[in-house]
Amino acid sequence: MNSLHARYPFLTAAREAVRDANVNLAEIIAGEGDRHPAVERGVERVRRALLDGTVRPVADGRRWGTTAEVLSYPIARMLVSLLDAPGAVEKYASAEAGTAYEQFVADFEAPDDGLKSTRGASLTLDTLVADFDLSESVVEREDDFGVAVGPYLSLISDFSDDEWRLASRRLSNGYVGVSRAELNELLRASTEMRIASDLPLSVPEEIEDALSEEVSELESSFTDADFSHDIDTLAPSLFPPCMKALLADVRDGERLAPASEFSLVSFLASIGLDTDEIQALCEVRGSARADRLRYRIERVRDERTAQFAPPSCATLQAYDDCVNKDDRCETITHPLVYYEDALDENGTVTDWRDR
Ligand code: SF4
C-alpha cells in the first residue's frame, strides 16, 4: 500500500493492494483493546462526510499512516451501510468524490517532479481515465477532449443543466467535445458512481456487531448536531458573517471551494429553503453555475430539510471561512445558533421571499 492508494482508495490498484496484503478487516475491526487507527479514521471519514461534506482528515495535528488511511475506506463503506440515516450513502459518496476531485485536479495541474521521494504519488489523467475503463472513450485533441457519446451520456445522467445536453455540444465522429475542466467534472461523476456502487453493503453479522459502538457514536453525533428546524424566516441581513461572505462570493460569480459550497448550501437548506429558493438567493438561476449548485443541494437535502446540520464554527474556521466575526459570534459555536438568536432578538422581520 502506498500514498497514492491512501489518497485514492477507490482505485482498482488500492483494492488490489489491500487484497495482496492479506489484511483481515474483520480482525482489525473486532480487535481487543484500543480502536485500530483504520477504524478510528473510518469513523472520522463518515462523520466528516455527513457533517462537513469532505473526508479530509481533521486538521488537529494527527497524522494517519498509509495503511490506516487505505483500510479506513472499506471500513467507512461498511459504517455508512450500517447507519440508519436516509440519504447517508449518497452524501457519503458525494463527499468522497468531492475530496478526490480536489486532489486529482491538483495532481493533474502539478504532477510530481520526478524526485524519487515523490514519484508515483501524483495521479495522472491517463491513470484515472484507465481505471474507469474510459481509455478508449476519452481522446485528447488539439483544443479540447472528446468523450464517446455513450459514456458521456451515462456520466452526465445526474447533471441537469442545459449546457451538458448533446444539443449544446460539439459532436464529431461520435465524440462529444469537452474542456479540461469539464472532463474533470465528468471524472468526479465517475468517481462518485464508483464509490456509490454496491452501497449500502451487506455487512456480515459479526462485523456489524463489532462496529455497533462506532455506529452508535456516529448516529449520536448527528443527533447532537441536530437543530430545532423551526426556522422559517429568510432574512439574509441577519445571517452570520461567514454565510453573508459566502453568499456574496457566489453572487459575485466566484466558484466556491467544495467544502465552502457545502457549508453555504447546507446552511440554507437547514433554514428551510428549497432548491429554487437557494438558486434565487444565490442569483445563479439560468446560469451554468445553477447546475452545479443544484447537484450540491440535492445531495444535502431530504424532502423536509437538511438531513444533517451544516458545519460548526470550528469547521468553518478550519476552512478559513470564519470571517468578519462580530460580538454575537463570541456567544455561539454554530452558525445556525447565531441565526436563531439573531431572529429572536430582532422580532418581526420581513421574509426575503415576500419582498
Ligand atoms: S464565529 Fe461562527 S457564526 Fe461567526 S463568522 Fe465564524 S463561523 Fe460564522
What is the predicted pLDDT for the residue at 319? 77
Q: Which positions ≥6 away from 124 have C-beta within 8 Å?
A: 107, 108, 111
What is the predicted pLDDT for the residue at 281? 92
Q: Which atom of ligand 1 is nearest to the CA of 243?
A: 8
pTM value is 0.70
Domain carrying residue 251: 227-354
Backbone φ and ψ of 153, nearest 5° = -65, -35
What is the predicted pLDDT for the residue at 323? 95
Position 178 in a domain: yes
Residue at which a domain ends, from 177, 195, 213: 195
Position 117 in a domain: no
User: Could you tell me if 254 and 345 lie in one domain?
Assistant: yes
Position 333 in a domain: yes
- Coil vs helix vs strand at 241: helix
Counting the structural domains of the chain, the total is 3
Q: Which atom of ligand 1 is nearest to the CA of 321?
A: 7
Position 114 in a domain: no
How far apart CA 70 and CA 345 sit, in angstroms, is: 48
Handedness of CA 81, 86, 90, 94 (dihedral sign): negative
What is the predicted pLDDT for the residue at 225? 55
User: Could you tell me if 244 and 330 lie in one domain?
Assistant: yes
Rounded to the nearest angstrom, the distance between the alpha carbon of 301 and the centre of ligand 1 is 22
Backbone φ and ψ of 199, nearest 5° = -90, 145
User: Could you tell me if 280 and 156 lie in one domain?
Assistant: no
pLDDT (tens digit per residue) in 133-153: 999 999 999 899 999 999 999
- Ligand 1, pocket residues at CB < 6 Å: 240-242, 313, 316, 322, 325, 329, 335, 338
Q: Which atom of ligand 1 is nearest to the CA of 317?
A: 7
DSSP 76-119: HHHHHHH---TTHHHHHHHHHHHHHHHHHHHHHHS---S-TTTT
User: Could you tell me if 162 and 241 lie in one domain?
Assistant: no
Beta strand 138-140 with 175-178: parallel, antiparallel or unpaired? unpaired
The Cβ-side half-sphere exposure at 140, using a 13 Å CA radius, reads 4
How far apart CA 250 and CA 157 sit, in angstroms, is: 25
Rounded to the nearest angstrom, the distance between the alpha carbon of 328 and the centre of ligand 1 is 9
Q: Which atom of ligand 1 is nearest to the CA of 324?
A: 5
pLDDT (tens digit per residue) in 175-228: 999 999 999 999 999 999 999 998 999 999 999 999 999 998 887 776 555 555
Low-confidence ranges of the chain (pLDDT < 70): 86, 111-120, 222-230, 286-288, 299-309
Q: Which three cell numbers stand for residue 184?
A: 474533470
Rounded to the nearest angstrom, the distance between the alpha carbon of 99 and the centre of ligand 1 is 23
Position 112 in a domain: no
Rounded to the nearest angstrom, the distance between the alpha carbon of 314 and the centre of ligand 1 is 8
User: Could you tell me if 57 and 129 lie in one domain?
Assistant: no
Position 74 in a domain: yes
User: Could you tell me if 55 and 170 lie in one domain?
Assistant: no
Q: Which positions ≥6 away from 298 have C-beta within 8 Å?
A: 275
Position 258 in a domain: yes
User: Could you tell me if 260 and 278 lie in one domain?
Assistant: yes
Rounded to the nearest angstrom, the distance between the alpha carbon of 322 and the centre of ligand 1 is 5
User: Could you tell me if 91 and 22 lie in one domain?
Assistant: yes
Angle at 175 between CA 169 and CA 178, to 5 degrees: 50
**Which amino acid is it at 51?**
L
User: Could you tell me if 175 and 244 lie in one domain?
Assistant: no
What is the predicted pLDDT for the residue at 219? 79
How far apart CA 298 and CA 275 sit, in angstroms, is: 8
CB 207 within 8 A of CB 78: yes
Residue nearest to atom 4 of ligand 1 (CA): 329
Rounded to the nearest angstrom, the distance between the alpha carbon of 289 and the centre of ligand 1 is 26
User: Could you tell me if 15 and 156 lie in one domain?
Assistant: no
What is the predicted pLDDT for the residue at 112? 57
Q: Which of 242, 244, 319, 337 to mutate to test the pocket of ligand 1 (most atoms within 8 A of CB)?
A: 242
Position 40 in a domain: yes
Alpha helices in 114-273 (DSSP H): 125-131, 149-155, 180-196, 205-210, 212-224, 241-251, 258-270
Closest CA to 275 of 260, 249, 296, 247: 296
User: Could you tell me if 264 and 209 lie in one domain?
Assistant: no
User: Could you tell me if 272 and 134 lie in one domain?
Assistant: no
